[in-house]
Amino acid sequence: MNDRVNFDLADRRAEEEREAAISAASRAVKAKGKLECEDCSAEIPAARRAVYPSARRCIRCQSEHEADIRSHR
């Protein structure tokens, strides 16, 4: 019975983490973007903002940011 309780607790925790991740992603998509990159202050092109309205970085800085995240995994 202890194994079943542990499984249920782990399953509930995993579901809570999934829901939190979905909620965070939803908030990020709905967030208002910026006109200037938050890293280098360059203007974020209108075409990028049209495709990705919540953009907060220019393409160069976003690429560097994502590469940095991947390198720390």
Q: Cα 1 to chain center, whole Å?
A: 38
Tracing tokens 């560097």 back to the chain, one arrives at 64
In tens, the pLDDT along 31-65 reads: 778 899 999 999 999 999 999 888 999 999 999 99
Residues 23 and 45 in one domain: no
Residues 39 and 59 in one domain: yes
All residues at 6 or more sequence positions from 59 whose CB lies less than 8 Å from its CB, including other chains: 48
pLDDT at residue number 20: 93
Its domain, for residue 42, covers 33-73
Burial class of 61 by CB neighbour count within 10 A (0 to 12, 13 to 18, 19+): middle
Residues 45 and 73 in one domain: yes
Residues 41 and 73 in one domain: yes
Range from 5-9, 21-25, 27-31, 59-63 carrying the lowest mean pLDDT: 27-31
Cα–Cα distance, 57 to 34 (Å, whole number): 8
- Indicate the pTM of the whole model: 0.56
Residues 38 and 70 in one domain: yes
Residues 17 and 40 in one domain: no
Domain count of the fold of the chain: 2
